[in-house]
Structure 1
């Protein structure tokens, strides 16, 4: 009996060791890392930059613009991504090539992160690792004490001075701002719209939040102050400009407690 059990465990370990996983989302890549599967990931999308081992993996493009040829060239045994990001045509092409494709939902909440952990673990045969990881995540969340900050925060998506978008209602960033104790400064429209001086002055945010590389793309704080309307806001007058790494801020990953604490601290200063 002991021999059979040992043989079964060896077989399961061998099957897992033969996995060739392509992750098409940074949040999923983080979960794969937490499950100890970095060595079995053979490719990722460009948003996958954590844990560090994911940075050097072959890249197959942005998660919303993936070519099937690039994925299939890696001979994956599992291709995993988010339902809302995967092009149905891509999924069909991969399935036609006999690839095993798993498309997961994503809820922007702590419970959504728990569900993603469980689903990724089930797809990769690592469900036994879930309880310990989830317990650690829950303990980190419980340790947070994020009091209301009474600060209006405006998120600006920047890709150079020619691409400046204001974040409205229903975005992952808005959810993060609220969870961290702040208030979204622009809630009268959904998703994103071009930033204007008029809307900026009317919203009068206390804090401007950007991705770290977004602020760099417009010349840092000095460049941001040159954006029409910024200098007339409370944020501009007090130079309350804060940044966070994009995937940490918007990914809703197992690093959510860290992200919320960081955002809370930066808004509070």
Structure 2
């Protein structure tokens, strides 16, 4: 039995194809939700509502430090533009990787080891996104927050300010990232399952390699005999070479022998 770590077969190509539309659905959802959030559609609004309710720091907290010529504290990652740009970037990367993966699957060049590398990287990126969206806010020591308020409390608070729709969009972005994590982990598990030692898979691949080697050697041997113009000693009609005499053989020679032996007038 020979273990092939690179060119391994998928144990279930049907599952591989079924995961593609599920991944496409998640990528489209992330592109839509993260793209809407790109121009600060609801990020600062959620930050302000949480500050008014005492759930987290307020955006004007940094203004106090700037007015008093003090070092301005860093904006929490959950409310930063960096997180928004990061989410848009990973959604675009996911789209292009999905297109490339589809092409490789059609060409039968998509192997489990490549799936493990790609989906591990993508899953890590989406985990960072989830951490950022629900991340802590300790900028104001009076109102520390370990989890964003709209995730742990819901959107009832935002209704008082007329921003329930913005709150639902923020929760939708978080849900889309979680969905992508689930899909990526399933595909990662499928790839790991295909990489595990499988006697049937490994033996079959080893047999295929042996057959290819034998066929290539046979073709090379026959080609060599044809180029020299002699019959192989093991081929039909090669008895002359076994007896020590080398007789040139061509298709026209055999035709002449047939005519001489079967024409009635020759007898």
TM-score normalized with structure 2 length = 0.18
Relative CO higher for 1 or 2, CA cutoff 8 Å, sep ≥ 6?
2
Larger radius of gyration: 2
Q: Which structure carries more helix by proportion?
A: 2
Q: Is the strand fraction higher in 1 or 2?
A: 1
